[in-house]
Amino acid sequence: MRHITQAFAVSLTAALTAAAFVPAAAHAQAIKIGVVTFLSGPAASPFGVPAKNAAELMIESLNAGKVPAPYATKGFGGTPVEAVIIDEAGSSTTQVTEFRNLVQRSNVDVVIGYVSSGNCLAVAPVAEELKKLTNFFDCGTPRIFEDGSYKYVFRTSPTATMDNVGAALYIKDIKPNLKTIAGINQNYAWGQDSWADFEASIKQLFPGVTVKTSQMPKLFAGQYNTEISTLLGENADVIHSSFFDGDLEALLLQGAPRGLFKKSMGVLTTGETAMHKLAAQIPDGTLLGARGPFGPYAPKNALNSWFVKGFEAKNKVPPNYASYQMTQAILGVKAAWEKAQAANGGKRPSNEQVAAALENLTFEGPGGTVRMAIGKGHQAIMETAYGMTKTVGGKITVTNVKRYAAEKVNPPEGVKSADWIKAGFK
């Protein structure tokens, strides 16, 4: 018995070691895309899995040549694409390790991924070191291209600055007599930055406004009764929240019976991910954001209606903004790849050539026009849209939608977003 167990343990270790050191297959014909997004943990359901589903749909449709114009060419410039999918959960050390493994062991040609801003910040310098084209599809912090300058790193989604400036502009349009604001945001970088941008923007637009309270509960705390009591007690005109996923859903579930967003107008900058699931808990007149012109705010065009139809047919739910952002990220790389391939005489372009083509590129996604206009041509800007919820016959819709042009809600090239807001959006 002892020998058998010993042998078993030894052979298990040996097998694992062998599996790890199998040399990667020689460069395959297909273009390999490393897709990194949350497959476990609380961020899997609102972001990770909808994004993964979008990636799978897009890769399948691209290889079949089924995507509408201007993306009708099969794969990337005629070459089929395949995905290597990795879980984003774990520390940034884990993510840096796995990024290196993707590039150096799995030999991917491009990496598209990362929801967490911390992971984006950690991976960016590594992508540069390894000279690997990397496109961040979701993470929000503007620090990536404000504090650093990269050749191989891109983000085809707008930053979080736009979400909060857009919300403030909308409030200016509909509530010119705003007196008081309050906030509840998660106590980590995303929540702190969102609140800082929102507070600064509101103070620019309404110089006399008072901040009643800013609640900062722990990330994934789940229990918000006490915070809700203080928010109800303060009775501010609007309550800002950048909560996402399970936390947002818990806040809505616990807030709805107590009339939280009925007394004060709710401003949910990422509320779109919860809108279909919790229609009953979101009162009419709540300001709902989708981090850009995505989901209910997406324009009506052939690409978008194809995308929504295809996504719903495959996944039984409509695509949320994470699905849009992933699609946009893939299409951006495809557009750049094909531009670079054309410039390269129809031959497979190098990473440097694709990166050069993606710089300052303008392309169409299902959410409309994307312009790589800031961060030295590496950071996208888009228009944004906000609207107020209205439940019609049990189905939640957005009304009174207002659109804000990209230049109105994003800083110009070379200006940091915090400075831009403080200078009165100039």
Question: Considering only residues 54, 122, 355, 374, which one is a binding residue for other proteins as defined by CB under 8 A?
Answer: 122
Considering only residues 39 through 78, tell me which ones interact with other proteins, judged by CB under 8 A: 39-42, 44-45, 48-49
Q: What share of the chain is helix, strand, coil (3-state, %, to 5)?
A: 45, 20, 35
Which residues in the 255-274 window bind other proteins by CB under 8 A?
256-259
Cis, peptide link before residue 125, omega less than 30° from 0: no
From first CA to last CA, the distance across the chain in angstroms is 76
According to the binding rule CB under 8 A, does residue 192 interact with other proteins? yes
Q: Which of 17, 29, 393, 395 binds other proteins (CB under 8 A)?
A: 17
Q: What angle do CA 225, 230, 236 make, to 5 degrees?
A: 125
Tell me which amino acid residue 41 is: G
Residues 362-381 binding other proteins (CB under 8 A) are none
H or E element that contains 210: strand 210-215
What are the residue ranges of helices labelled H in 206-244? 225-234
- Scanning 87-95, 329-337, 338-346, 385-393 for contacts with other proteins by CB under 8 A, the matching segment is 87-95
CA dist., res. 147 & res. 131, Å (int): 19
| Closest approach of other proteins to the CB of residue 299, in Å | 28
233 binds other proteins, rule: CB under 8 A: yes
Residue owning tokens 């504090």: 147
Shortest approach of other proteins to residue 162 CB, angstroms?
18
Q: Which is nearer to other proteins, 42 or 80 (CB)?
A: 42
Among 11, 12, 64, 72, binds other proteins (CB under 8 A): 12
Among 30, 96, 174, 401, binds other proteins (CB under 8 A): 96
For 183, 231, 237, 270, the CA distances from 227, given in Å and listed in that order, are: 10, 6, 17, 19
**CA atoms of 251 and 260, how far apart (whole Å):** 9
CB of 48: closest distance to other proteins in angstroms? 7
Instruction: Report the residue number, 32 or 402, with the smaller CB distance to other proteins.
Output: 32
When the beta carbons of 83 and 171 are compared against other proteins, the nearer one is 83
- How many residues bind other proteins, per CB under 8 A? 85
